[in-house]
Structure 1
Amino acid sequence: MNPAIAPRTRSVLRALLAAAYGVAGIFHLAVPAPFLSITPAFVPFPRAVILITGLCEIAGAVALFLPRWRWWAGVMLALYAVCVYPANVKHALDYIEHGTGGLSLWYHVPRLLFQPVIVWWSLFAGGAIDWPFKRRSSFR
């Protein structure tokens, strides 16, 4: 990637990711019911977990704009995306098995396939990796 374009691209992708996580976090807090319905049964205290995950999403979104915390925000949001994958799978399986959730496979299949991109995007936005997959040479 052109070195002059890289910082601008990272900034734009960072802002988009922060907006997405910020909005998702607000929805977790304001309207937890849809998230509770897709929470796997093995998750203890699901209501508290949904509220905590909403706060984590908002904190991660804010921290992406704070240079001192950016690297950690990117890494933690990537880990978060991995951890919520079972809920996304359950959401898709509920639709396949019961037709519940109000979204079709046109939503679920791309959403499941896009999760690794979200992991990469979080790492890139936080500066943990460079474009497209190269590991950064120094700890930030």
Structure 2
Amino acid sequence: MYSPTTKVQDIFRIILGAAMVFAAIGHFTFLRVEWQAQVPNWVPMDKNLVVILSGIVELTLGLSMIFLTKYKVHVGWALAIFYVLIFPGNIAQYVNKTDFIITSDTARFVRLLFQPVLVVWALWSTGAWKNRKTIGLRNTNLYKK
């Protein structure tokens, strides 16, 4: 679904997409160990596998934010949901005082507060929030006679 957005929204969408691509590259290379420290111990998978899989998701979402402009509303919702899904890892980092680039309780807490900002950023920059009522099966041919 295409949704008109302003130039400012498009710039912020591309910035967020680029940040996701950068984070994904970190998952595969120079931040792999640090990202593994972020995976909560209760996740029943190998931490390295979780980092690789989440890196693939981040790379896909980041590139989609930049290039799939026709589907930016859907991508915005997908990225917002992704941010919500990884939030327990941020909570675990704060509760367990896990050092992951961020090494103080204050910085870990501020990071928790920033997660909702990322959700809003994804929804606003793609026009997803504005078009929330037009998402779903109502817009497919399934309901047309």
TM score, norm. by length of structure 2: 0.77
Unaligned runs of 5+ in 2: 140-145
Give me the CA root mean square deviation: 2.0
TM score, norm. by length of structure 1: 0.80
Indicate the percent of aligned positions where both proteins have the same amino acid.
27
Distance in 1, Cα, partners of 2:76 & 2:132:
13
Partner of 1:138: 134
Distance in 1, Cα, partners of 2:80 & 2:99:
28
Asked whether the 8 Å contact 2:18–2:63 carries over to 1, the reply is no
Residue pairs, 1:1-140, within 5 angstroms: 7-30=6-29, 31-45=31-45, 46-64=47-65, 65-95=67-97, 100-101=99-100, 103-130=103-130, 135-136=131-132, 138-139=134-135
Unaligned runs of 5+ in 1: 1-5
Query: Which structure would you say has the larger RCO, counting Cα contacts within 8 Å and 6 or more residues apart?
Result: 2
Q: What are the Cα deviations for residues 45-102 of structure 1, in whole angstroms up to 9, with x where unaligned?
A: 222121111111111111112123322221111111011111111111222xxx7445
Change (3 A) 1:136 1:82: closer
Moved over 6 A (4+): none
Distance in 2, Cα, partners of 1:25 & 1:117:
19
Question: What is the number of equivalent residue pairs in this alignment?
Answer: 128
